[in-house]
Amino acid sequence: MNAPADSYPLRFDVDYPDRPLNRLTTFFRLFTVIPIFIVLACIDASFTMQYFSDSFFEWAQVKGWNRGVYSGIGLLFVPALLMLLFRRKYPRWWFDWNLELLRFSSRISAYLGLLRDEYPSTDEEQAVHLDIDYPDAEQDLNRWLPLIKWFLAIPHYIVLALLGVVVLFCLIGAWFAILFTGHYPRALFDLVVGFNRWWLRVIAYAFILVTDQYPPFRLSD
């Protein structure tokens, strides 16, 4: 994905399905998602469950993200913080690990959120697109800012917690709409995608530490 020079260094989008969605798998989505969640849980169980709850149902527990990112098994937070603090470096393979894990979890999130009905792939992009610019640690990242980014992002936690309640009702409405019409209402689709985009930008800023650009308070690109 090519991005304008002034865009945020994380870009996320989901292709709107231009065909009827599968009503049977939509009805049983909470069950059909279980196998791929087990796969993600094998990578990091705390990250899996926290991402699931934070994305849609329990945003009030957003502080629980610390349990996932501090484990060192899922998203690499503490190692990246220490490397930036003492060496002014962000190893490329750490960046690639975080990016690919977020891509994988985003495909699962899109499937769970009824945005798509293709079963989430462990490695193929499918219709869920996530790109993050690799940072030049010496030129683009402040070595001390990672110590307080989690605190600076608190306003986002509050707004997203409130918005998460709205998204929950949107998901319920979309579930019924797909069962009766086969289609995801476009307005609800854009809201859910925007919600995930906003949350991923907060992750990029406060947890995987790949940018010092403060996340915008918006759902759009």
- CA atoms of 46 and 13, how far apart (whole Å): 25
Please report, for residues 1, 44, 203, the alpha-carbon distance to residue 211 in angstroms, rounded to integers and kept in the order given.
18, 24, 10
Instruction: Provide the 8-state DSSP code for 203.
Output: H
Mean pLDDT for the chain overall: 87
H or E element in which residue 12 lies: strand 10-14
54-60 contacts, C-beta under 8 A, 24 or more apart: 54/164, 54/199, 55/109, 55/112, 55/113, 55/196, 55/199, 56/109, 56/112, 56/113, 56/164, 56/167, 56/168, 56/171, 57/164, 57/168, 59/160, 59/161, 59/163, 59/164, 59/165, 60/161
Mean pLDDT of 181-200: 97
Q: What are phi and psi of 14, to 5 degrees?
A: -130, 130
Mean pLDDT of 109-136: 96
Pairwise pLDDT comparison (63 vs 211), residue with the higher score: 211
* Residue closest to 143 by CA, chosen among 99, 215, 83, 98: 83
Other Cβ atoms closer than 10 A to 157: 19
pLDDT of residue 7: 86
Read off the pLDDT band of 108 (50, 70, 90). Answer: very high
pLDDT of residue 68: 39
Q: Is the pLDDT of residue 104 over 60?
A: yes
pLDDT of residue 88: 92
Strand, helix or coil for residue 133: coil
H or E element in which residue 85 lies: helix 78-87
- CA atoms of 79 and 176, how far apart (whole Å): 44
Query: What pLDDT, in 10s, does the model give residues 154-180?
Result: 999 999 999 999 999 999 999 999 999
Instruction: Provide the 8-state DSSP code for 182.
Output: S
Strand, helix or coil for residue 46: helix
Query: What pLDDT, in 10s, does the model give residues 53-91?
Result: 444 444 333 333 343 333 435 788 899 999 999 999 999
- CA atoms of 164 and 199, how far apart (whole Å): 10
Proportion of the chain above pLDDT 70, given as a percent: 84
pLDDT of residue 221: 85
- CA atoms of 73 and 79, how far apart (whole Å): 11
Q: Is the pLDDT of residue 6 over 70?
A: no
Read off the pLDDT band of 45 (50, 70, 90). Answer: low
For the chain, report the end-to-end CA distance as a whole number of angstroms: 13
- CA atoms of 27 and 188, how far apart (whole Å): 18
Query: What pLDDT, in 10s, does the model give residues 128-153?
Result: 999 999 999 999 999 999 999 999 99
